[in-house]
Structure 1
C-alpha cells in the first residue's frame, strides 16, 4: 500500500478491487469535542491522505488540478490503441467527493458519488460508472471514508477541501435548480448509474434582463435554442438530467413569459408561448417538451382554480421563477387524496405515477388525485420534499431522453384544502367547458415541439448538404455538388413544401388557441367552441407528426452516408419524434377528425372530452 500527501497525490496505473481512504487526523482533544458535538470535525478542513491498495500499483507522478488519472493517457480505455482525441465518450469513470459529512451541510451529507466529466487537451469526454457506496466508520482514530473501486475504473476526480466539494455538489447534485431552501435532493434509485452528469461542454451566458416584448422573447429563445443544440447529442447519449439547461431557461427569462407583469413576468399570451416551444425544440426536442409542459402546468390554476387561487399561484411561480412539472399521467391509477384525520383543513396525497415528465427537474409539481367520492383534485406542491421520490427509469430510451420522464412516488404529501384548485369550502366550483381545455391545449404543445424538431432537422440537413454532400459521379450526367443533384433538389422541395403548409395551418390553430385560453370570463367558453378547437388541434397534430417523421428519416437520403456519423446528431431528431408520437395513438386522432368530417359539424361529430381528447 502506498500513502501520499496532498497536493502531490500519486496515481496508480491499475487499481483493481482496491480502495481509497481519506482520514481526518485530530488530536485527542479534538476527537473529544467531535464526539460531544457530533460534528465530525468538518468545520475545520481536515488533513487528508489518499491511500491506494491493489496489485501492480505504480507511481506515475503528481496530480494536476486535483485530477487523478489511472490509465495510460495516450490511449482510450474502451478502445486500446486509440488516442483519447479520437474517442469523445467512455463509460468507466467516477467522481469521488472527499469531505466529512456534517449535520449542518445536508446536501453534502446526502451527496452520492457522481460520474465525472473532465477535459483533456482540447477534447471533452464524459464518464459513467456503476454506483459506488461510501462507508463511514467512526472510531477513536477519527473518520475513515472507504470506497470500493470498480475493476475498470479509469478516472477519478478528487476534491480536497470542503469548499471544492460544496461547489461540486451545487453543480452536479439534483438540487441544482431548486429555489426552495428546505427541499432535499432525490434519493438515487434504479437506473441512476446510467445517468451521466452534465459535461458542461457549452458555457451559458449571463443575461442582463428578461425579455418583455414578443420580439425580445423570440430573439432570446433563438439564442437559447442554438446554445442547447451545441451539445444536445452529447447530453442525449449520456442520459444527462437537464438541471443546467432548465436553469438556462430560467436565467434567460423564458419560464415567466405567461406570468403577470406585477410579479416580474412578461404578461404575454399563449400565442407567444407556443412559438417559444417551437423555437426551443428546433435546437433540443427534449427541452422543447419540458418548457411546453412547464407552460401547461403553469396554467393549471387558470384551467380549474378560482380567480383568487389563480392570482396567488401565478404570482408565486412567476416571482420565484419556478419551473413546473406534473404528476398526472392518466394511464396509471389515480393518486389517492384524503382528508387528514387529525387536521380536516388539509389533504394527504399518496400513490405512484409511471411517467412524470418535468417533475424531476422542477421546483413545483402539480398533483392530481381522486377523493373518496371519486371527484378529482389538483394541487401544486414543492417538488423537493421527503414525501416525493423520483425514479431513474428513463434511461436509454429511444428518444426524448433529456426529459427524464421517469416515475414518481408520492407518500403522505400534505396540501392545505385552500390550495386544492377550484375548491371553495371543500366543494368544486366548475367553469364549464373551460375546465377541459387542458387536453387540446397540451396536444397543441405536442404539435408545436413536433414542428420545431422537424424545422430544426431540415434546416441542419440542408446546411450539411450545401457544405458537404457531393454529387454522384456514376451516372450519365455527373454533377460535382450535391445541391445540383435533381433527386436532392426534389427531395428538399417536397419536404419543405409540406413543412411550410403544416406550419401555416398550425399558426392559425395557435391564434385560435390563444383567444380561447385567454377568454374572460372563463365560464363563457361553450362546448361547441371546445369541440371544434379540439378537432382542429387533432388535425394539426396529425400533419406535424406525419411531416416530422418523414423529414427526420428522409434527410439521410439527401445528406448521404457520411451523415450517419453520431457526431452530427441527425438521429436525435428522428428518435425524439418517433418516441413522442407514440404518446397517444395518432390513429385515434385521424379517427377523431374523420368522425367530425362524416358526422359534424353538429354534436354527432364532436369529440367527447377525455384525458387524451
Structure 2
C-alpha cells in the first residue's frame, strides 16, 4: 500500500474545554490509582513494564490525541499533558512512555503533512497501539541503504525509551540511494519486525521502568508503506521538539506534586513532635508548615506556567503549516523557561520533603526517594543550563538557538 498525497486537513485544531479536561483527568486518576500499586515493584525490578502498558490500553489512553475521524478520542494537547501529569505522580516511567507515544505518533502530522496517514491513525485507535522512538541524536546516524524498491536499516540507538514495551518504533535516517536519496526519512515499523534486537542495558538511578535501553537494528526491511514523511525542517514540523520539552516540564512538575502528596500523608501519620516545638504533633509544627508551604507555593507557580503553555501549544500547532519561524521561536523559549523552573523546583521539592517527613520516611519500603531519583535522572536528558542560555539570549538579543532535537 502506497501512502498517496491527499488534500490537507488539519489534524490539530482548537483547545480543550472544561468538560474534556475533566473527563480524561478522571480516567487518568483511575489509571494512576492502579499504577501506584505496582510502582515500587516496577522501580525495583527495572523490567519491561508490559502490564502497566496494558493498563494504559484498557483505559483508552493510547488513542487520546488521534483525530475522531480516524476512530480516536480527538482530545487536545492540553488534555494529553494533563493526563501525563496525573500519571506521573504515580509512576513517572509509565507517564514518560505514554507522553512519548503521543508525540511520536503525532509525527504523522508533523512530518507527514499532505500524506494519507489514515491507516496509521486507524490502527492506533483500533488496537490501542503505543509508539516509541529510536531518535537519540547524539548516537551515530543510522544507515538506510536502498535495497530493491525499499531500504535496509542498520545501526544502534541508545535511550530508546519504551521501545521494548510498545508496539511501533519510529526512527529516522538519511536515505542512501533509491527513490528518496539524500532525504531524511521518517519511518515507523512494528517492534516485532525481524532484525530488531533490544539490548536490555537500561540500569540507571531513576526512570527504571521506562524501558530506555538500547536497540540494535540489523538489516531491517523498510518499505514505502513504513514511511511517515520527511524531515524538511519547517517551522511546523519541528514543533515536535518543543512538545517534547513541554512533556518534560509536566513530568518534573508531576514528581514535585507526587512527592508533596506522599509527604502530606507521611507527615499527618507521624506521632509525637520535636521536643522543642511546643506542639503535640509534627503536623502542628509551624516549622513543618513553613517548609511545606514554601515547597507547595513554588510547585503551584510551576503548575500555573505549565497550564498556560499546555494550552498555548494547542493554539500554535493549530495553525498548521501557517506557523512561522517566529511563532516557533517564541513557543520554544517559553517552554525552555518552564524546563528551567520545573527542573529546579522538582529537584528541590523531591529532596526537601524529608525535612517534614523525617528519618522514618527514608525506609526503602516507603519509596519516597523514587520521585527525586526520577527527576535527577531524567533532568539530565539535556543540560538545563543551556535552556537558561536559550531564554537569556532571546530576552536580550532576540537570538534563537539552532533548531535541533533538543531545541
Deviations 1:89-142 (A, max 9, x none): xxxxxxxxxxxxxxxxxxxxxxxxxxxxxxxxxxxxxxxxxxxxxxxxxxxxxx
Alpha-carbon offset, residue 485 of structure 1:
1.3
Name the counterpart of 1:44: none
Alignment of 1:490-569 (within 5 A): 490-519=290-319, 522-569=320-367
Matched, 1:380 2:180: no
Alignment of 1:147-226 (within 5 A): 213-226=20-33
Alpha-carbon offset, residue 374 of structure 1:
4.8
Question: In structure 2, which of residues 215, 235, 246 is the aligned counterpart of residue 444 of structure 1?
Answer: 246
CA RMSD of aligned residues (A): 1.6
Alignment of 1:406-417 (within 5 A): 406-417=213-224
The answer to whether the 8 A contact 1:328-1:356 is kept is yes
Q: Which runs of 5+ in 1 are unaligned?
A: 1-211
Question: In structure 2, which of residues 379, 385, 388 is the aligned counterpart of residue 587 of structure 1?
Answer: 385
Matched, 1:389 2:184: no
The answer to whether the 8 A contact 1:534-1:607 is kept is no
Name the counterpart of 1:371: 175
The answer to whether the 8 A contact 1:439-1:612 is kept is yes
Alpha-carbon offset, residue 312 of structure 1:
3.0
Deviations 1:230-263 (A, max 9, x none): 2211221111321000000001101111113244
- Give the distance between the partners of 1:479 and 1:586, measured in 2 at CA: 41
The answer to whether the 8 A contact 1:304-1:431 is kept is no
Alignment of 1:287-306 (within 5 A): 287-306=94-113
Moved more, 413-422 or 584-593: 413-422
Alignment of 1:54-133 (within 5 A): none
* Structure 2 counterpart SS, 1:422: strand
> Higher relative CO (CA 8 A, sep ≥ 6), structure 1 or 2?
2
Alignment of 1:22-37 (within 5 A): none
Matched, 1:578 2:380: no
- Give the distance between the partners of 1:542 and 1:302, measured in 2 at CA: 28
- Give the distance between the partners of 2:27 and 2:234, measured in 1 at CA: 37
Deviations 1:532-557 (A, max 9, x none): 00000000011111110001000111
Question: In structure 2, which of residues 17, 26, 50 is the aligned counterpart of residue 243 of structure 1?
Answer: 50
Structure with more of its chain in helix, by fraction: 2
Alpha-carbon offset, residue 362 of structure 1:
0.9
Matched, 1:353 2:147: no
Name the counterpart of 1:257: 64
- Give the distance between the partners of 1:311 and 1:431, measured in 2 at CA: 23
Alpha-carbon offset, residue 417 of structure 1:
2.4
Question: In structure 2, which of residues 398, 401, 407 is the aligned counterpart of residue 607 of structure 1?
Answer: 401
Deviations 1:393-437 (A, max 9, x none): 113x100000021100111111222432335xxxx7x47211211
Question: In structure 2, which of residues 289, 302, 306 is the aligned counterpart of residue 489 of structure 1?
Answer: 289
- Give the distance between the partners of 1:269 and 1:431, measured in 2 at CA: 24
Deviations 1:445-499 (A, max 9, x none): 11111111111111110121012254101x2x52211012121110011001101
Deviations 1:491-540 (A, max 9, x none): 01100110111100111111111112233xx2210000000000000000
- Give the distance between the partners of 1:401 and 1:599, measured in 2 at CA: 40
- Give the distance between the partners of 2:223 and 2:113, measured in 1 at CA: 15
Alpha-carbon offset, residue 308 of structure 1:
2.9
Alpha-carbon offset, residue 382 of structure 1:
0.6
The answer to whether the 8 A contact 1:457-1:573 is kept is yes
Name the counterpart of 2:85: 278
Name the counterpart of 1:74: none
* Structure 1 counterpart SS, 2:137: coil
The answer to whether the 8 A contact 2:70-2:118 is kept is no
- Give the distance between the partners of 1:529 and 1:312, measured in 2 at CA: 31
Alpha-carbon offset, residue 287 of structure 1:
0.8
Alpha-carbon offset, residue 309 of structure 1:
3.3
Q: Which runs of 5+ in 2 are unaligned?
A: 1-18
Alpha-carbon offset, residue 284 of structure 1:
0.6
The answer to whether the 8 A contact 1:213-1:266 is kept is no
Deviations 1:322-358 (A, max 9, x none): 1111011101011111211xx22x1221111122001
Runs of 4+ in 1 over 6 A off after TM superposition: none
Number of equivalences: 385
Alignment of 1:428-443 (within 5 A): 430=232, 432-443=234-245
Give the greater-gyration-radius structure (CA). Answer: 1
Name the counterpart of 1:454: 256
